[in-house]
Structure 1
Amino acid sequence: MKTFYDVLQLLERYGTYIHVGKRLWDIELAAVEVDRLHESKLIDDRTYASAKIILRHEHEQEEKHPLINDDGGKSNG
């Protein structure tokens, strides 16, 4: 597992599909769902740790450089 997409694929294997509308929110919800899967013993410690590292990195990157503007993409420049 190397990317946010890989984490989403992991969640989908357990019936969890995430699309809230803002990438930052998707990342945060994915982190909650990964926690839930780990607490339920559905994923092992290594998978959990990998997913959390990826999500933390993606969250930091999204805060620094959002892919979508907060104005819904309506900026003029």
Structure 2
Amino acid sequence: MKSIYDIQQFLKNYGTFIYTGDRRSDLMLMQDELKELFLANLLDRKDFQVATLIIKKEISEIQKKTI
């Protein structure tokens, strides 16, 4: 996974479609879903870590824009 789009496509494979209209909330929900997939052993540690870093980076960029 290299982007938020890749994460969204990955989640779609498991029937998870996330869109609340608020980008930050969407990212947080994606992070929660990834954690659940990881805990269910459907996602390996490396992919989980990479996806988490991508999401955290995006959340950080959103927070910078609002300040």
TM-score range normalised by the length of the shorter chain: over 0.9
In structure 1, the gaps of 5 or more residues are 67-77
Report deviation, 1:2: 1.0
1:58 has 2:49 as partner: no
Give RMSD over aligned pairs. Answer: 0.9
TM-score normalized with structure 2 length: 0.92
Regions of 4+ moved over 3 Å: none
**Larger relative helix fraction:** 2
**Match for 1:32: what amino acid?**
D
Q: Is the radius of gyration larger for structure 1 or structure 2?
A: 1
Q: Structure 1, residues 21-65: CA drift from partner, whole Å, max 9, x if none?
A: 100000010000000000000011111011001001011011112
**Match for 1:61: what amino acid?**
E
TM-score normalized with structure 1 length: 0.81
In structure 2, the gaps of 5 or more residues are none
Q: Distance in 2 between matches of 1:50 and 1:10?
A: 13
Identity %: 33
